[in-house]
Amino acid sequence: MAKEQEKTRYSDEELQEFKTLILEKIEVARKTYEQLMEKIKTDESKNSFNMLEEGAATLEQEEASQRAARQQDFIKKLQAALVRIENKTYGVCRVTGKLIPKGRLMAVPHATLSVEGKEIEQERKKKK
């Protein structure tokens, strides 16, 4: 366990494992994004004569647009993680400089902060 603490970066094999996970997540996120965009386009082409229906449709369309924007943001974050893998800086907390635990990266592969780094950043924001 002490050896894990001393590591300054993940091995090439570990980085490849993360890369595979991220590529899978990007594929799923892109499919979800495409489905949302298709729904938005389909909803736009429907004619509604009932004001109640129109209001509900507008709300659904706005929610779909927000979800699509979040998916797009998620994809960008995952792509940035791929760049960090190529640079061999993936998994290093941008606040503490320590390795982010593997379990956290498996759950949130685009993470750039360890839990400790996130707490430090939140404290800095409170002081402003």
Name the β-bridge partners of 99. Answer: 92
Q: For residue 24, give its domain range.
A: 9-89
Same domain for 79 and 57?
Answer: yes
Count of structural domains within the chain: 2
Which DSSP state fits 99? B
Same domain for 85 and 98?
Answer: no
Q: Which residues contact 108 (CB under 8 A, 6 or more apart)?
A: none
d(CA 98, CA 94): 8
pLDDT tens sequence for the chain (128 residues): 444 446 889 999 999 999 999 999 999 999 999 999 998 887 666 655 555 566 777 788 889 899 999 999 999 999 999 999 999 999 999 999 999 999 999 999 999 999 999 999 999 988 87
Same domain for 14 and 69?
Answer: yes
Same domain for 85 and 102?
Answer: no
Same domain for 98 and 52?
Answer: no
pTM, entire model: 0.80
Nearest C-alpha neighbor of 124 from the set 25, 113, 40:
113
1 domain-assigned: no
